[in-house]
């Protein structure tokens, strides 16, 4: 019922004189991949299947498959022949053929369809490498010790190129990418993984080709939401963004198209969708054009982490039968440590995020923090509120220097270590971090975030690490549990966090 009503609104709207362009499925011809490398037929077929599946899943194309493989030289001649036939506007020959190459023969009826109605995709494998080698895997044995297992590993690298020819016979665009795959099953499995990697970015690449961007019209505006004419029928998904495009008159002589707003799709049905208005004041009938984003976010933030340690502490440990004391001094951080973070977040649909961060707390001991978890973003025009919870793993580290002895070795934890011995004190802390942030979006690419949260440390352990000097693998090491006088040895990592982040949407 709702769909029919919106369709009626669209009919009335266009009858009043609106002329926004609305995309239809574009007919494309996809040639099989060509390669000068000696690949089995199954390898060609797998590439073709993955490429066509990727293109077809976008739903904005009507895919026509052909069986004519064109190498690089023939592809160029094919482009030139289409141009020539466009100029002639007639097809006299019963078939298209390059006698000196003999690579492809295309009947006249199909050639006419290629010339008049479709974009043509011509793929090729320009580079291929495959190798196999043995690797050693250490496996722990019951009762202690290790056993070595030899495994054959396969690695494949594929470089691909997909030329896209427009209906005028011009080279519209070229998708170049490479992929690598590693497998312990077979060389073919490694090749397939490499192909998946190389073809993986094709969908997003095509969304950025101007001729393939979805164009539609605004059907209706309700508050902060706008209804769009297209939906699942052309592959629109929640999270897609559309720019409002207006034609501006300049000095009564010139016209210029400008993007005056942004809409982020939140709901999609079969034939229409609606989205949240981020910028602008959209009106029914206005032109919308797809403004693709890959769905990634890169951010840099400055803030504070909870951190509390005493100014001094006495560490005790044993070397053989001798008990030793070491006086330690810390930076006396009481409550907070200044921190710098790099963030890499993933947008999932309209409002869900998967957030990850890596940061350093500039304290003594130095604190390294890794965070990951889901979040939900609630949009309010160009501002938003994000609720999320992360799992945090924090590592505190302090180098204590080198130990020497009148003997040639020290006995730590029942193991003899040749002197000098490097010593470090490490903490491993696991925490939950509920967070709340307020965001303001300046344009489609840049956001500013103010965030705060509470980090709750639920498990922490400490380790005193001894290692012989030297970089070779034969250097012995041992870890023991440290003990302290007048201190429980815990870092105070439970408390309030907060800061400011600049976000770049990718």
Q: What is the pLDDT of residues 239-296, one digit of tens each?
A: 999 999 887 777 667 777 788 899 999 999 999 999 999 999 999 999 999 999 999 9
What secondary structure does DSSP assign to 383-421, as a single string?
Answer: EEEEEEEEEEEEEEEEEEEEE--SSSEEEETTEEEESSE
- In terms of C-beta density within 10 A (0-12 exposed, 13-18 middle, 19 or more buried), how is residue 274 classed? buried
pLDDT at 18 exceeding the cut of 70: no
What pLDDT is attached to residue 313?
85
What pLDDT is attached to residue 9?
45
The CA-atom distances, in angstroms, between 63 and each of 121, 153, 231 are 10, 37, 19
What pLDDT band is residue 332 in, cutting at 50, 70 and 90? low
DSSP H/E element including 147: strand 146-165
DSSP H/E element including 42: helix 41-57
pLDDT at 335 exceeding the cut of 90: no
Lowest mean pLDDT among 70-84, 202-216, 348-362: 70-84
Nearest C-alpha neighbor of 435 from the set 388, 401, 482: 388
Residues with Cβ within 8 Å of residue 304, at least 6 apart in sequence: 336, 337, 338, 339, 496, 497, 498, 499
Nearest C-alpha neighbor of 129 from the set 151, 153, 154, 163: 154
pLDDT tens figures, 378-389: 999 999 999 999
Residues with Cβ within 8 Å of residue 433, at least 6 apart in sequence: 371, 373, 389, 390, 391, 392, 453, 454, 455, 456, 497
Neighbours of 231 (CB within 10 A): 20
- Token pair for 249: 């008159």
What pLDDT band is residue 326 in, cutting at 50, 70 and 90? confident
What pLDDT is attached to residue 6?
47
- Cα distance between residue 487 and residue 425, in whole Å: 15
Nearest C-alpha neighbor of 313 from the set 271, 269, 364, 377: 364
Q: Which residue has the higher pLDDT, 198 or 111?
A: 198
β-bridge partners, 234: none
What pLDDT is attached to residue 11?
42
Neighbours of 360 (CB within 10 A): 16
- When pLDDT is averaged across residues 87-111 and rounded to a whole number, the result is 53
pLDDT at 105 exceeding the cut of 70: no
- Cα distance between residue 277 and residue 58, in whole Å: 24
Q: Which domains does the chain have, with CATH numbers?
A: 2-23+214-290 (2.40.10.410), 26-207 (3.40.50), 296-505 (2.40.160.20)
What pLDDT is attached to residue 257?
78
What pLDDT is attached to residue 248?
76
- In terms of C-beta density within 10 A (0-12 exposed, 13-18 middle, 19 or more buried), how is residue 340 classed? middle
Q: In which residue are the tokens 């020959």 written? A: 93
What pLDDT band is residue 113 in, cutting at 50, 70 and 90? low
- In terms of C-beta density within 10 A (0-12 exposed, 13-18 middle, 19 or more buried), how is residue 193 classed? buried
Nearest C-alpha neighbor of 372 from the set 388, 359, 390, 386: 390
Share of the chain above pLDDT 70, in %: 84
What pLDDT band is residue 477 in, cutting at 50, 70 and 90? confident
pLDDT tens figures, 439-458: 999 999 999 999 999 999 99
What pLDDT band is residue 106 in, cutting at 50, 70 and 90? low
pLDDT at 485 exceeding the cut of 90: no
pLDDT at 15 exceeding the cut of 50: no
- When pLDDT is averaged across residues 145-164 and rounded to a whole number, the result is 89
Q: Which residue has the higher pLDDT, 13 or 51?
A: 51
Q: Are the C-beta atoms of residues 412 and 466 closer than 8 Å to each other?
A: yes
Helix 72-88 to helix 108-117 angle, to the nearest 10 degrees?
A: 80
Q: Detail the DSSP E strand segments found in 291-445.
A: 296-308, 312-319, 322-329, 334-348, 352-361, 366-380, 383-403, 409-412, 415-418, 421-441
What pLDDT is attached to residue 464?
86
What pLDDT is attached to residue 414?
76
What pLDDT is attached to residue 368?
95
Q: Are the C-beta atoms of residues 390 and 433 closer than 8 Å to each other?
A: yes
- Token pair for 366: 């130095």
What pLDDT is attached to residue 427?
92
- Cα distance between residue 499 and residue 81, in whole Å: 61
- What is the DSSP-derived secondary structure letter of residue 16? T
pLDDT at 28 exceeding the cut of 60: yes
353: helix, coil or strand? strand
pTM recorded for the entire structure: 0.83
Q: How far is C-alpha 34 from the geometric centre of its chain's CA atoms?
A: 29
What rounded mean pLDDT belongs to the chain? 85
What pLDDT is attached to residue 177?
96
Lowest mean pLDDT among 16-30, 70-84, 413-427: 70-84
What pLDDT is attached to residue 109?
63
What pLDDT band is residue 92 in, cutting at 50, 70 and 90? low
What pLDDT is attached to residue 497?
95
- When pLDDT is averaged across residues 186-190 and rounded to a whole number, the result is 93
What pLDDT is attached to residue 1?
43
What pLDDT band is residue 471 in, cutting at 50, 70 and 90? low
pLDDT at 85 exceeding the cut of 80: no
pLDDT tens figures, 418-434: 888 888 889 999 999 99
């Amino acid at each position: 019922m709702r769909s029919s009503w919106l369709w009626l609104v669209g009919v009335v709207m266009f009858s009043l004189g609106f002329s926004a362009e609305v995309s239809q499925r574009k007919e494309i011809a996809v040639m099989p991949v060509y390669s000068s490398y000696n690949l089995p037929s199954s390898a060609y077929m797998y590439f073709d299947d993955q490429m066509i599946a990727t293109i077809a899943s976008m739903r904005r194309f009507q895919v026509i498959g052909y069986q004519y493989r064109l190498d690089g030289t023939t592809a160029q001649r094919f482009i030139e022949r289409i141009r020539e036939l466009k100029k002639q506007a007639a097809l006299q020959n019963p078939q298209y053929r390059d006698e000196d190459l003999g690579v492809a023969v295309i009947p006249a009826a199909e050639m006419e369809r290629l010339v008049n109605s479709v974009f043509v995709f011509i793929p090729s494998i320009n580079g291929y490498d495959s190798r196999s080698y043995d690797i050693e895997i250490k496996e722990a044995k019951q009762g202690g010790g290790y056993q070595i297992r030899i495994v054959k590993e396969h690695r494949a690298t594929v470089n691909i190129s997909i030329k896209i020819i427009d209906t005028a016979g011009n080279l519209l665009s070229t998708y170049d990418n490479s992929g690598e795959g590693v497998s312990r099953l077979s060389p073919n499995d490694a090749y397939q993984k490499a192909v998946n990697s190389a073809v993986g970015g094709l969908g997003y690449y095509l969304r950025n080709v101007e001729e393939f961007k979805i164009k539609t019209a605004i059907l209706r505006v309700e508050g902060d939401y706008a209804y769009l004419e297209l939906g699942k029928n052309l592959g629109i998904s929640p999270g897609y963004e559309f720019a409002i495009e207006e034609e501006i008159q300049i000095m009564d002589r010139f016209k210029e198209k400008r993007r005056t707003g942004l809409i982020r799709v939140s709901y999609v049905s079969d034939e229409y969708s609606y989205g949240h208005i981020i910028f602008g004041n959209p009106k029914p009938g206005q032109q919308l054009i797809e403004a693709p984003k890959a769905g990634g976010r890169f951010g840099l933030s400055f803030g504070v982490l909870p951190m509390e340690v005493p100014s001094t502490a006495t560490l005790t440990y044993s070397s053989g039968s001798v008990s030793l004391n070491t006086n330690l001094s810390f930076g006396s951080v009481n409550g907070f440590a200044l921190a710098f973070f790099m963030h890499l977040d993933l947008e999932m649909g309209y409002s869900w995020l998967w957030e990850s961060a890596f940061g350093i707390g500039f304290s003594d001991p130095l604190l390294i923090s890794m965070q990951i978890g889901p979040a939900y973003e609630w949009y309010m025009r160009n501002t938003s509120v994000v609720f999320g919870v992360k799992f945090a793993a924090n590592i505190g580290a302090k180098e204590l220097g080198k130990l020497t002895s009148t003997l040639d070795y020290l006995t730590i934890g029942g193991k003899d270590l040749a002197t000098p011995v490097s010593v470090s004190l490490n903490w491993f802390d696991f925490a939950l971090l509920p967070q709340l942030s307020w965001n303001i979006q300046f344009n489609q690419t840049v956001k500013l975030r103010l965030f705060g949260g509470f980090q709750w440390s639920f498990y922490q352990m400490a380790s005193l690490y001894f290692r012989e000097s030297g970089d070779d693998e034969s250097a012995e090491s041992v870890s023991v549990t440290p003990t302290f006088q007048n201190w429980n040895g815990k870092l105070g990592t439970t408390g309030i966090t907060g800061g400011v982040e600049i976000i770049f949407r990718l």
